[in-house]
Homo-oligomer: A and B are copies of this chain.
Amino acid sequence: MISITIIGSGNVAQHLIKAVSKSIDLELVQVFSRSKESVLHLVPNEKIISETSLFKEANLYLIAVSDDAISSVSHLLPFNNKLVAHTSGSVAIEELSNSNRKAVFYPLQTLSKNKEINFKEIPLCLEAQNEADLKLIKQVANSISDKVFEVNSEQRKSLHVAAVFVSNFVNHLYKIGNDICLEHNVPFDILKPLIQETSKKIELLSPNEAQTGPAKRKDSQTINKHLEILTDQNQKEIYKILTKSIIDNDKKL
């Protein structure tokens, strides 16, 4: 049984709390959260602490707070030489305090509080500074996910940028599609099968093989018509640069 304390109460923290609680190989020791209310639906009251003096012994302390708070939170921990991991895609392992052994436990997924998710399907990207610690976080990772990867800080940073493109930015393109539909009084639902098929294609074809559309066909007549329809300046700019990028990409092939 590996004992774990989770620090934080946001999206990632809440999904980790659920995953750890469910696992028969893991024991949730405590949750550190400044606002008890935000995790009371997940953890018994006596396990929630708001003061650093109340930390109990655990095999692993998981810091799941916002990126810019990771370093300062790690420096507030009142103990030494314990294993402390952060859960961020974009923060280097070095940013953790030197007082403890450092690791990274990064779930590469888009986690929303209002959407349940099967944690088994979430890729976990791990990094540690010695073999014993890596072994321990691997055990933890394997007991909550089927997709465990060892990824160093450099690789993790680039994965995080790539993730912004394929998830955050993709979702914003859905938002723009929705806005265009609203503006022209057509139901966004007509587009949903297309959205699903576009993501499914990527399981079978490379993104290059899967590319279709006016930019791919260099169909300048359609491209110009589309630019006339768009009234929002950001939408126009996004249309132009993505079209240019698709065309430039084909030149390189």
Interface residues of A (CB under 8 A from B): 11, 66-68, 90, 108-112, 114-115, 117, 121-123, 125, 147, 149, 151, 154-155, 157-178, 180-181, 183-187, 190-217, 219, 221-222, 225-226, 229-230, 234-235, 237-239, 241-242, 244-246, 248-249
A173 to B184, CA, bound (A): 25
As for how many copies of this chain the complex holds, the number is 2
CB distance from A212 to the nearest CB of B (A): 5
Q: Is the CB of B172 within 8 A of A186?
A: no
- 18 inter-chain pairs at a CB distance below 8 angstroms, sorted by A residue, are A66-B217, A90-B226, A108-B194, A110-B198, A112-B205, A114-B209, A115-B201, A158-B186, A163-B191, A164-B226, A165-B174, A165-B176, A167-B194, A168-B216, A174-B207, A177-B207, A237-B241, A238-B242
Q: Is the CB of B115 within 8 A of A205?
A: yes
A40 to B207, CA, bound (A): 28
Q: Is the CB of A199 within 8 A of B198?
A: yes
